[in-house]
Structure 1
C-alpha cells in the first residue's frame, strides 16, 4: 500500500467479541477477519484446503536506485494476530469486478477492441515465478477507461487459460475513483476470473498488507511496486510477495493450486508491462506516467530488475530467455528496452521504459 493518509481505527463489538475495522477513506473499509473464516476459503474447490502460513521460497536481495523523490507502496493495516484485512465489498464493486473479469480482460493477447499494450513477455517455459520493481503514477483516466501495469504468469491449452497477475490500476468504473489501486487477479480451471477478494479463491495471509488497496500519489511523483509472483516449491500454491528494502519481504497471500488445472508444473508464459482499455468513444487513456519513453530512465514508466524463476526454481534475468516485445500502438505509446551496463552505479538489471499519453487515434 502507499504512504500518506491516516487510518481511522474503529472498534465494533459483535456477538463474537471485538471486530476491528480500519477505515482508509469514506468508501474504503477493511474488516479484520479470522484467517480461518476469510471469504477466500469459501470457494467450492477449497473445501479441504489447509492454509499455508508462509512461502517456502527465498530470493536474492535486489537493490534499485530510483531517485530521491521515491515514495513506496508501504501503507500497513494493523490487524490483530490471527486475523487478516479484507476489503469490505459493496454490491456494485462485486458486480463490476465480475463484468471486467469476464468482458474486459484477456491475458494472452490484446484481442479486445480498444485494448493496447506495451511490455515484454517470454513463452519459453515452464516458469515458477516472475518479479519486478515498477513505478506507479497518478493519471487522468476517464470513468469508462482503464490503465494498469502488472506482472503476470499464465498457461494456455486450446480454449483454456490459467492466469495470475498483480500490479496497480486506475479503474474508476470498478473502484469508484481515480486513485491508483493495488490489485491481484486470477483465472482458473472453471474459466472464470476474479479480482482481489471480490469473490472467493485468494487466501490472504498478511495481517498488515492486503491484496487490494488505494494508493494516494501526488501528480508527477511515482510510487513503487516491488512484486514477486511465484509457485511454492513444497505446496504448489501461487504466492504474491511484496519485496522490501532493508527489511524482510512480506508474503501477502496466495492463490491455492486447487484453483488451476494448467499450472501444476509451472507456467508456460511470464510477462510484465502496461495495458489500457479505451472508452466506448474510442479515446484511450494515458499509460505508465503519460510520457513516451524518449528521455531518461525516470522520465516515463519504468519496469526494472525483471527476473524469473526457471523450472528448477533458479533465479534468472528475464532476458536470459527469448523475450518478445509487445507494442501495438506506436502513435500513442512507446517501449524502450534498457541498456545499462552491469557495473554501472545505477544498474537496474533487465529493465525497460514504456507508456504514453493515449488519445483518439490509437487504433482498435
Structure 2
C-alpha cells in the first residue's frame, strides 16, 4: 500500500468519524428539544442545575399520544380528607433555598443537558432503567394480595456512598399491579443517588413509572411524556438539601400516592396536606393500574456491577445496618395503605424481603404511636460477611 492510498483511507476514516459525530450531535439536539420546553423564567441552582419555569400546559407530559390536547387537572376534593399529621417544610430542596420561585401557571423542571444524554447507554434509553448485567439487591417490606388505592410513608433521607457511577442507591415507596417479567405496571417515588443519570452524587427526589414491565414505556422524573406536574414548589429530580447525619439531626420525606376514584389518576404528594399534591400519573398510561394496585413496597435498593470483581461497597440507606436504630440507620415510618373505602390503614401482613441478609437487611421498629408501623433498613455492602 503506497502513501497516497494510506492517506486517502485516513481522510475517509476522518470524514466518516465527522459524519457520525455530526449525526450524533443532531440526534442529541433533537432529543433535548423534545425534553426541554421553552422557559418563562430560568433559575440557577447552587448545585449546578438549571431550573426552567415552564407553562403547565406546555410540559413534556402532553407530548404523549394519549394526553395530547389535555390540560392539567386540579387536585380532586376527595383527596382533601387525608390531613397532614406532621409539620413539613416546602423548602427541602436546594434550588428553592435562595428564595427564587417559579411564577404562577408554571412548573419548575430540571433542564437536561447534552452531557446528561451522553452518559446514557443510548439516546433511546436515556431516562429509563437499564436492563443490563448487574445484580439487583434490595431490603424491603411488602404488603400484597389485596386491592390498594394508595400508600404513604416518611422516608429518612441520607446521602449514601455509591462506588461506581453506573450504580445507584435508592430509598422508595412503590405500587405495582400485573405480572413481573410480562406486563407489570409500577409507580415509584423516593430519593436516590445515581451519578450516571444526574452527573453527580447528590441525593435527589425522584419518580418513575412503567406500563409494560420497564420494556418501552416510562422513565425517571419528567424525562419522557407521562407524569403531569401541577405544583410549582417542587423540582422532580432536584437535589434534597435536608440530609440526615450520623447521631445528628434526622430528616424524612413524607410521601404519598393516592388514586382519584373518579378519574383513576394516581396523585403524588409531599407531606400530608392536599395543598402539597405535586401532580399525577394519568390512568391512561396503564393497564392494570387503571383499577388498583395489588402490591405496595417500601424500602431500599442498590445495583451491584461488581466493577472490582467482588461485591460492591455501594451502601443502602445510611450505610449502617438496621439494628443500630435511630440516628444511625435509615428508616421509613408511618407506613400505611389506602383501602377501597379510601381509608388509611396500617400494614396488616407486611412481609420482609431481603436479597442478601449479610449485605443489606430490614428490621421492624418498636411499637410507637407517633411512628406507626415503621422499619429500619440498609447496610454497608462489601465487608467481612459480604464478600
**TM-score scaled by structure 2?**
0.78
Q: Which residue of 2 aligns with 1:205?
A: 230
264-273 vs 43-52, which moves further: 43-52
Please tell me whether the aligned partners of residues 156 and 244 of structure 2 are also in contact (alpha carbons under 8 angstroms).
Answer: no
1:155-213 per-residue CA deviation (whole Å, 9 max, x = no partner) reads 11471011000000001111111110100000025842210011111111001112220
The equivalent residue for 1:350 is: 373
Partner of 1:174: 197
Cα distance in structure 2, aligned partners of 1:135 and 1:36: 33
CA offsets, 1:100-126, max 9 Å, x none? 634249xxxxxx742111110112221
Written as runs of structure 1 = structure 2, the 5 A alignment for 1:39-78 is 39-56=60-77, 57-61=79-83, 63=85, 73=92, 76=96, 78=101
Match of 1:279 among 289, 293, 305: 305
Q: For 2:87 and 2:60, how far apart are their aligned partners in 1? A: 39
| Residue of structure 1 equivalent to 2:257 | 229
| Structure 1 residue 310 corresponds to structure 2 residue 339 | yes
May I ask how many residue pairs the two structures share in their alignment? Answer: 331
User: Is 1:240 aligned to residue 259 of structure 2?
Assistant: no
> Alpha-carbon deviations, 1:39-90, whole Å to 9, x = none?
1111111124342122441344454699xxx997355462111111111112
For the residues of structure 2 that align with 1:229 and 1:285, how far apart are their CA atoms? 28
Matched position secondary structure for 1:258: helix
In structure 1, the partner of 2:367 is 340
Asked if 1:184 corresponds to 2:207, the answer is yes
Q: Do 2:53 and 2:102's aligned partners in 1 also have CA atoms closer than 8 Å? A: yes
Corresponding position: 1:330 with 2:330: no
TM-score of the pair, normalised by structure 1: 0.82
Structure 2 CA distance, aligned partners of 1:124 and 1:191? 27
Higher helix proportion (structure 1 or 2): 2
Deviation at 1:219? Answer: 4.9
SS of residue in 2 equivalent to 1:140: coil
Q: Contact 2:154–2:252 (CA<8 Å) still a contact in 1?
A: yes
Distance 1:284 1:99 in 2: 26
Equivalent-residue separation in structure 2 for 1:124 and 1:304 (angstroms): 22
Q: Which structure has the larger Rg over C-alpha atoms?
A: 2
Q: Point out where structure 2 has 5 or more consecutive residues left out of the alignment.
A: 1-37
Could you list the per-position Cα deviations for residues 230-268 of structure 1 after superposition, in whole angstroms to 9, with x for gaps in the alignment?
A: 111221111110015xx7641111111111111121111
Counterpart in the other structure of 2:152: 131
CA RMSD in angstroms, aligned pairs only: 2.8
Q: Distance in 2 between matches of 1:350 and 1:146?
A: 27
Post-superposition offset of 1:92: 4.2
SS in 2 for 1:25: coil
Instruction: Provide the residue aligned with 2:276 in structure 1.
Output: 250
Instruction: Return 5+ residue gaps in structure 1 as ranges.
Output: 1-16, 106-111
The structural deviation recorded for 1:339 is 2.4
Partner of 2:48: 27
How far apart are residue 20 of structure 1 and its match? Answer: 0.7
Change (3 A) 1:206 1:100: closer
